[in-house]
Structures are given as structure tokens and as C-alpha cells.
Structure 1
């Protein structure tokens, strides 16, 4: 049986990007079968100073060296653009225009060209020309505000999620543009801003789950019967708290209290905690230290079967019948109970125990251990890391040396 052709076989991508967002996007395209020509300045992509990172995100590409400030650079770029399907650039807005190769100029040369710009703040707006890096974009879009340490200080993700999410947004947009081109024969100009991508994530998460105004009042009022039912199932020392909360929300006085909370909630500590914690407000969603000072992640949301299995595995059968609403109200004491139980055994014990019980858990692994985890190793296909492109049968070669393909690529241009 013959293997299917890679989805992007025959598609040529001209890559003017450096560091991580653009190179990761074009890595995915290369994994899908595209020919990627990486255009580098004489000094090379700055990521070459980090050989491991560079080698991963530039695998399978061809490299040419081109000094974009030389007088004949525009002519060379025009020659490349004529025979290119996709151009990806990651300069700050205005740089490509000064080089005579912005979206309008490039598509005038090749109307079928899909031109994708990836930048921090996008091609327009008051911040368009600002420099920035991943942490700045996390800060601006609410990600840092939602992530707090034990001292209630905001912090950013160590994983550069703005870079990586915008890379995948760029890939999805390019694929959609290539699909549209098959219908109408026209290329597209794509403006990917890292802040747009992160904001679409953080806004959906924050807006969808945080009470605001009268919505908050309705949520509080509707929670009362759940809290009442949950209170009856709680162990004795936790029950009074839930009963007090339920009584406080009852009757006309309770509705007035809920209305007052709904109006004030955005200014309150409660709102800030809800806004940043979300699932982490549940006692069974978090990271727990084991006896051997490793860490175990437990991620149970609203699935009662998993809660029962967790209680069984922890030898806490008395808690198995506690419903979700009561667990939310008594989150702090329940979390302490779970943490104390987890602390009694090593990580290996819990991995084996919860595998039998089918509880959603995972060990907190450093990267070195992740790369030899049997599941991740199986997905990587023998240990070689690549882009997550399951449609592709492309096997990528190593990253190119600086300018390795300059002569072969430029000599093929029409004279």
C-alpha cells in the first residue's frame, strides 16, 4: 500500500522569520510536506546561538543568506516571490514595506501569494510598532493576572505560550488561505498578532466562567440548593460552613445579598480569585507533593466517577459521596486532606495506584524525563521530536547550516 502524499507537497514557503514564533509555524508546514526556504541575514538567525532550539524548529528547511540592505536585495526577493506559495515574515510593522516587500508589493508580483505577518501587536493600532516578548503579551492579555503564586503575585508562564499559540494560529490561517485559493485563485494577506491569539484564549476562559454583575447574583442564588444538598453529605467538621453559606443566600434577604455581591464582585478579592483560579478552586484539581518530594497532578473537574475513584485510591471512602457543590464550598479543608494523603507515599506508588483506578493524573516531569516517557516516546516516533502533524508522513532532515542552500536556490531564479 502506497503512503498518501503529504498535504503540503509542492507548496513552497519563503520564511523571513527568526527565533520561535515564525520558525515554529514553518516547521509545522515543513512537517506537512512544504518546501521551506529560510532567508537569513549574514549573521544568521539569532536563535543559532541556541543550537538545540534552532535545530528543532528549523529541521528540514533550506537556508539562504541574503543581506536585505543591499541594493539588489529587492530584485532577489521579487524573483523568489514569483515562484512562492506562502511568505511568512516576523518583522515589526513597516520593515518589509521599507524593503519593498510588504503584502501589497509582494502580491502585486504574485497575486496567488499567501502573505502571513506574525508580530507581537499586529500591523495596526497604537502599539503596532512597539517591541515586545512573550511575557509582555501574557501581561497585556490577562494571563499573568490569572496566574498567581502563593504570595498572590502575578507571574508569567515559563512556556512561551504567546509565541507558540500565534505560530499555530498562523499555520491554521495559512492552510485556510491555501484552501480558499483553490476556489478563487487569489492569495491572501494574514495579520497574526500574538496579543490577539492570547486574548482570544484568556477572554474565553475568563468571561465564560467569571460572574459579573447580575449574572453573578443569579449564579449565587442558583447555587443555594446545591450547597444545601452538599452540606448534608459533608463530614461533620466541614458541614457548618456550607450550611451557613446556604442560609445566608436564602429568602429575600439572600437575594438582596446576592444582588449586592453581583454589583461589587468585580472590585472584590472573591472576583479576583475566581478570575484567576477557575478550576484550581476545586480541591481535586492541582499539584500535590509526594513523599519522595516529587509532584503529582490531579485534574478532576465535575466527573463524580473520578472523585469516587480518587477517594478509593486515597483510602478516604467517607468522602466519596460528597457532591461537587459541597466540595467547592469546603475546598480548603478537602485539599488539605488530599494533600496529606498524597504525602504518605512516593510518586511511583500513586502512579501505579491511580492507573488501576483510572483517575486523571500525571507526574510532573522535567523535560529530560518527558522525552523518555513511553506515551510521548511512542507519539514522537522513535524519539525524534517534530511538529505535531499527524496527517504528514514527511521525515524531516536536520536544520540547515547558515546559507547552505544559497547557491542552489538563487541559481534557479529566472535571469
Structure 2
């Protein structure tokens, strides 16, 4: 049993979402002990075509089938909602109302109901009715532009940050807050989650550091120009002799000093942003290039061994297969995103 799996015991959640954002949100609720009824259309959730994905998202849920084209099935859903605490839906704005399942109707049936709607751009506004996927939400929020390669090309992330961070996590947090309020007041509410705006909210660092560095650059930072996307020699990715990558995250000076000791470059230890080395300055860029040249002289295994026992925030960039086999993740308890102890 997963740690903390009893905390939401008694919470009844009806999930009529599909694909990734909603199902991952309710999987987290299920992991914490909620009873989750997953409602699928007759043809099944599209994620069923990817068996391992569907199992990962929906294991432990009570999967049921309804056809929302049928009034009898919509009536069945209303019956379930009469005793539910939460409804999660992911249709475009207006679809729920067209089926007689809008929040104004449902709250008459169940005043304590919390309804969470996850959409790409929110229930209202200029883009509310537009279609989109994770890539579009990443692109429109400005998040994708923060993930450019060293050559300045935009890159595709294999983590669906819009769906999961902007959607699932925001939905889970806001829904639990709404449930907490409903349990105290007896009054539910409608939670409107926009994945694009959720991603915008996650850009705390680039918005803050970008504003700080813009006067020096004469523009907002681009690829390798912001504080944590490549401007600092001490916080960067470096290519090794065998074409792999080493992550140097020595953001604090004490870690940078330890890194320089391992690299046998004591003269570099005082060249650090906490010691006055300005990001994007010629001196900083020169140090970054010198460090890159040094890391390129040895394979990743060499550097991984050298830094294995050194507390310097330096790690190899593992492949997914290597991460799966790493002792950090082989223990079942270590796979849990949280540990909750009474």
C-alpha cells in the first residue's frame, strides 16, 4: 500500500476526462485514498491504445462506461454525482452545458459538489474554444522558448509539462482546496483550470531572472542567456568525449569550489556569480568554454566516477533505461513521489 493512501478515504471522485491531464490528476487522488470512478465512452479512453499508459494512469480506479449521447446514461451520471464530492471533466467550454451537465445545473442536485474543468485556454477568453495539445500550450505560454538547444533551436520535451504541470497538478491542488472549503461551508464550486495559464504561472524563475538580466542584454534573455538556462558556467550541461552529457549544478559557491577541486582547476574557484562573475560577460563565457573543453576530454563514465562521492551537485545525465535501473528508483518505496508519515 502506498504511503498516505488512506488520507482521502471517503472522498468520492467522478472522472469523465480522457487522455492524460485529468486521468493523472485523479490518479494522484486515488493514490491518496480517494474512490475514483472513471467514466469512459463506449469506444474507451483513447489512452487504452497505449496499454502501459492506460494502466499507469488508471490502475486502482473503478472503470465504467457511459454514452453521453443517451439521456439514460446522462441520468445515470447525475445519479452518481448526487453522492459524489468531485467531478473532473475535460471537454471544451460549452459541451457540458449542451448535455445538461453544467455546474449551475449540477450544484442544484448536489450543493457540495466540486466540479473541476481542465481545458487548454480556460472557460472564457479569446482562445477558450480553440483546440490544442501539450505542445501548443507549451508554445503559447512561452515555456517552450525556454527549452532551446545551445544552437538556439526550439526542442521537444518528452515530458508533457502543459498536461501534467499546467493541468494535472494545478487541477489536483485547486480541487483539494475546493473540497476543503466545501466540507467546512457545505458549498461547492467550479474550478476552471487552463493548462496554458498554469504553465505561465510555473515560469517564476524565467520571468524574474529575465527581468533582471534584460537591462544588461538590451532584451529578454534567449538561449543560454538566462541565469539557469546556460548563462552560468557553474550551472550547465556539458558534452563528454563519448557524446553524453554531464550536469553541473554547482549554483552555490561551496559546491563550485568542490567541483573545481575535482577538476584540478583551483584558479577557477573564485570565478563564480556569487563572487562577482557577471552572467553573459566575456569572462563568464570564456570560463564556460574552457570548462566545456575540459569535460570533452573524458567519457561520461570517467566524470561520473570522479564525482560519485563528491557533494558538488554534479551528476551524469542518465538515459531513461539507466534511470530505471539506478538504485535510486529500484526500491518500490523510492518510486513514490511522496512519503507521508503519521
Structure 1 residues 107 and 275, CA gap change in structure 2 (3 angstroms): farther
C-alpha deviation, 1:4, in angstroms:
7.3
Aligned match for 2:245, one of 295, 302, 314:
295
**By percentage of residues, which structure has more helix?**
1
Structure of higher RCO (CA pairs closer than 8 Å, 6+ residues apart): 1
Structure 1 residues 38 and 148, CA gap change in structure 2 (3 angstroms): same
- Provide Cα deviations, 1:5-49, integer angstroms capped at 9, x if missing partner: 711001111000111000000000000001111000011000111
Which residues of structure 1 form unaligned runs of 5+?
221-260, 394-415
Q: Which residue of 2 aligns with 1:381?
A: 333
Mapping 1:234-245, distance limit 5 Å: none
* RMSD of equivalent CA atoms: 2.3
Q: Which residue of 1 aligns with 2:177?
A: 176
Mapping 1:92-107, distance limit 5 Å: 92-107=92-107
Partner-residue secondary structure (3-state), 2:116 = strand
- Provide Cα deviations, 1:248-267, integer angstroms capped at 9, x if missing partner: xxxxxxxxxxxxx7xxx23x
Q: Which residue of 1 aligns with 2:125?
A: 125
TM-score by length of 2: 0.90
Aligned match for 1:285, one of 235, 258, 261:
235
Counterparts of 2:4 and 2:25, CA distance in 1: 23
> Is the 8 Å Cα contact of residues 145 and 276 (structure 1) preserved in structure 2?
no
> Is the 8 Å Cα contact of residues 86 and 113 (structure 2) preserved in structure 1?
yes
C-alpha deviation, 1:182, in angstroms:
2.3
Q: Does 1:339 align with 2:340?
A: no
Mapping 1:300-339, distance limit 5 Å: 300-301=250-251, 303-324=252-273, 325-326=276-277, 328=279, 329=281, 330-339=283-292
Counterparts of 2:182 and 2:39, CA distance in 1: 25
Q: Does 1:113 align with 2:113?
A: yes
Structure 1 residues 141 and 275, CA gap change in structure 2 (3 angstroms): farther
Counterparts of 1:139 and 1:216, CA distance in 2: 21
Deviates more, 1:4-13 or 1:108-117: 4-13
> Is the 8 Å Cα contact of residues 93 and 128 (structure 1) preserved in structure 2?
yes
Structure 1 residues 337 and 172, CA gap change in structure 2 (3 angstroms): same
Q: Which residue of 1 aligns with 2:186?
A: 185
Q: Does 1:198 align with 2:149?
A: no
C-alpha deviation, 1:275, in angstroms:
9.1
Counterparts of 1:304 and 1:163, CA distance in 2: 36
Counterparts of 2:325 and 2:104, CA distance in 1: 47
TM-score by length of 1: 0.75
Counterparts of 2:123 and 2:104, CA distance in 1: 13
> Is the 8 Å Cα contact of residues 149 and 223 (structure 2) preserved in structure 1?
no
Counterparts of 1:211 and 1:124, CA distance in 2: 29
- Provide Cα deviations, 1:373-409, integer angstroms capped at 9, x if missing partner: 111233x427xx56x343389xxxxxxxxxxxxxxxx
Structure 1 residues 97 and 369, CA gap change in structure 2 (3 angstroms): same
Aligned match for 1:367, one of 303, 320, 341:
320
Q: Does 1:390 align with 2:339?
A: yes
Q: Which residue of 2 aligns with 1:37?
A: 37
- Provide Cα deviations, 1:163-209, integer angstroms capped at 9, x if missing partner: 0112011111111111112221111210011011101122x223311
Structure 1 residues 288 and 151, CA gap change in structure 2 (3 angstroms): closer
Q: Does 1:136 align with 2:136?
A: yes
Structure 1 residues 286 and 195, CA gap change in structure 2 (3 angstroms): same
> Is the 8 Å Cα contact of residues 241 and 299 (structure 2) preserved in structure 1?
yes
Counterparts of 1:209 and 1:35, CA distance in 2: 42
Partner-residue secondary structure (3-state), 2:226 = helix
- Provide Cα deviations, 1:69-99, integer angstroms capped at 9, x if missing partner: 0121221111010111111011111111111
Give the structure with higher Rg (CA).
Answer: 1
Which residues of structure 2 form unaligned runs of 5+?
none
> Is the 8 Å Cα contact of residues 206 and 275 (structure 1) preserved in structure 2?
no
